[in-house]
Amino acid sequence: MMNSPLPDGEKTEYRVYFLTARQLQQRYIEVRIMSVDTHHNDAPFGTLLGYAPGGVAIYSSDYSTLDPRVYPDEASLRSYIDDEYMGHKWQCVEFARRFLFINYGVVFTDVGMAYEIFSLRFLRQVVNDNLLPLCAFANGSPRPPVAGALLIWQKGGEFKGTGHVAVITQLRGDKVRIAEQNVIHAPLPPGQQWTRELTLRLDDGRYTIQDTFDDTEILGWMIHTDDARDSLPQPTLAPEALAIHAAQRHDGSLFDGHWLNERDPVEQSYVQANQGHVINQDPSQYFTISESAEQELIKATNELHLMYLHATDKVLRDDSLLELFDIPKILWPRLRLSWQQRRHCMITGRLDFCMDERGLKVYEYNADSASCHTEAGLILQHWAERGNGVEGYNPGEDLLNELAGAWRHSHARPFVHIMQDEDEEESYHALFMQRALSQAGFESKIVKGLNALRWDNTGQLIDDEGRLVNCVWKTWAWETAIEQVREVSDAEYAAVPIRTGKPEKQVRLIDVLLRPEIMVFEPLWTVIPGNKAILPILWSLFPNHRYLLNTDFTPNEALTQSGYAVKPIGGRCGSNIDLVSRHEEVLDTTSGKFHDQKNIYQQLWCLPRVADKHIQVCTFTVGGSYGGACLRSDSSLVIKKESDIEPLVVLNDSEFLR
């Protein structure tokens, strides 16, 4: 709900809230209106105030004048340049990212609040997804600030809750000129390319920048450089902040009966698939993590997504690496074309983590056909809100809105066929995604299996109502279609063996997903980050990275000393996994249909056991950034298709550690 404009002459500070969940996830708009006299020269929201160096526009961020008819929802406030997300209009973070993008061709990863930028240590080069070093220097460092550096404020005072970021545009003796948004809302003098001028002091060989506000703290400046002398190390969390705690609701009887709404198609489908109004073995039990832990999950998710993209680019440029993925060579040109043309078209994926006092480690990236969105974004939100609710918040509560926002900027065609297998879990997942598509303004139709699809007289693919199929979102994994290609020898065809007629023949998955005129989500290239063959490549590119586990195509000496997990490269749902201890003892093993595939060997890093359950943390990427989180549990050490999804609640740090 939108706050009304400030009364004339009244000085105050307030916030505009668009989506409750986005605030709680630290991916919200928490807008700070400066303490200003509104009948001075402040310009309405979105007014061009002037330009920073390089011709980068500076806009008014006076939210008291925002017209909800022009900006009716959160998605309308997202700023993009082509397919590159800049931030929310017209906040300080949006300006800083846009300045770097336009002038240097780099961006920093998504953050919830401006002060969080100070914990980042890399930039992404937009043209090739290379990761470049970003060094942080404390205010008071012997390393001087430079033009083009980011200047970061801690949260507090004038920048309560959010912190602030500006760009240093010029150093003139003992003055530092900066450009920024969401501080000054009045037009700049003609030709002036800075918003404020701060004082720079040099005392005993150390540089300190003083703000024009007396209640703020400048953390320091950030410079893209290979010279890390005098820079700050990346901050780390105390081990106890990464723990997972078990908790119990005292109103568990609320979940004894029919507590979901079966008049809702998604919930009705969920109830049918799970044979009742159930979420786990004990719906009164839930698990909590700290707000700092979620912040670490956000940083890890955003950084790992970019690392996976960087590794994908390396793979698709090198035949010897691509060969490791066991993808038929007849598909290689299409893979590379998909990467070239649709690199920014990924809607959603899911990263699977182990998180406990030892740290945060990623197991894999389900990039091309992730699930669990319905449970995290709908079912567990009902659980959290039922009765008197629980203290804290569900970190998946805004997943539907996040997905709708991603679809809105996806370049998908107006009508989307939602393709699913004959699986009850996929049915409610498909309905949930259909809801996101509808919210984003798309028409859609769910197609179960392939029997409803056929060819018309010209060989085009149509559904049972005669509608042309030209845009698809699928629940199927790309590996299923690729396996159909493997069944046909490369020598039999001049190209990918796609049928385009033959009424007596049934439409196969490859006849849909590999037709060149059909836009498929997720794009074909997502089979690369979704294949476990990428894990050894990631380790070689980022050795000893804090979020990665040592992984190789053979059990090397380091792996035999630590123990290892044996995983098929195209495996799914925890199938065909062996966990081997450093004493060569098999700790756990699972069966499945992937036993003939090539394996990778990943450092053994067992899930924590909390309340007699092994707990795995999952985060969702939406549009390439963190979109929420959920928990899965199992009595065994391996999470499988049938494993439970557990309620997860985020508490502020003081409550969590109490």
Could you list the active site residues?
92
Are the CB atoms for 556 and 530 separated by under 8 Å?
Answer: no
Residue 519, φ and ψ in degrees, nearest 5 = -85, 120
φ, ψ of residue 437 to 5 degrees: the values are -65, -45
| Inter-CA distances, 221 with 111, 146, 147, 214, 278, Å | 17, 9, 10, 19, 50
63 CB-contact burial (10 Å; exposed 0-12 / middle 13-18 / buried 19+):
buried
- Spatial CA neighbour of 301 closest among 224, 366, 212, 371: 366
Beta pairing partners, 461: 455
DSSP state of 56: E
Backbone phi, psi, residue 140, to 5° = 105, 15
Strands (DSSP E) along 347-436, which ranges? 348-356, 359-366, 415-420
Question: How many degrees, rounded to 5, is the angle at CA 527 between CA 525 and CA 533?
Answer: 120
Strands (E), 307-384: 348-356, 359-366
Q: How far apart are CA 305 and CA 349, in angstroms?
A: 9
Separation CA 598–CA 619 (nearest Å): 27
Tell me phi and psi for residue 479, to 5 degrees: -60, -30
Task: Label the pairing between strands 648-651 and 285-290.
Answer: parallel
Residue 640 tokens read as 């499988």
Which candidate, 76, 113, 74, places its Cα nearest to that of 93? 113
What span, in angstroms and rounded, lies between the C-alpha atoms of 254 and 583?
A: 47
Alpha helix positions (H), 25-110:
92-104
Q: Which residues contact 579 (CB under 8 A, 6 or more apart)?
A: 563, 565, 566, 586, 587, 588, 589, 604, 606, 637, 638
Q: Is the CB of residue 512 less than 8 Å from the CB of residue 419?
A: yes
